[in-house]
Amino acid sequence: MAAFEKTAIELPDSRKHVEYFTPKETLRPQGGFRVKLARSGQVLTVPEGGSILDALKAAGVTVEHSCTEGICGTCETKVLAGVPDHRDSVLTSAERAANNTIIVCCSGSKSEELVLDL
């Protein structure tokens, strides 16, 4: 996979496709930021070492998820404001740059608060 990605780096994302069955790198939840749920107005604190998914589940918010490693994309959630810290192996470079979605099981935030479409 690494050889393909290195060789295909110049190709647009629409011309290549990869799937990972294990994370590209060891993921450590980041925590230390807030997540605002736009639909309810609820604000959750993601503690240091915790994930957005963990905070959502602890608050009783149901989010579809499967792998919890950032490789399946099941928990992809729309971002309305804030800057995600993408740590998944699913989103393309263009999707990451757009900052419109986040994989909540493993990604964090570069801003103090993320507003999610939940």
CATH code for the domain in which residue 92 is found: 3.10.20.30
Instruction: Count the domains in the chain.
Output: 1
Answer yes or no: is 97 within a domain.
yes
How confident is residue 49, by pLDDT bands cut at 50, 70 and 90?
A: confident
92 burial via Cβ count (<10 Å: 0-12, 13-18, 19+): middle
pLDDT at residue number 31: 82
Mean pLDDT of 13-37: 73
Percentage of residues in the chain having pLDDT higher than 70 = 78
Answer yes or no: is 25 within a domain.
no
Output the six-digit token pair for 88. 């998944």
16 has a pLDDT exceeding 80? no
- 101: containing domain: 31-116
Answer yes or no: is 22 within a domain.
no
pLDDT at residue number 66: 93
Answer yes or no: is 6 within a domain.
no
| Among the ranges given (29-33, 39-43, 103-107), the one the predictor scored with the smallest mean pLDDT | 29-33
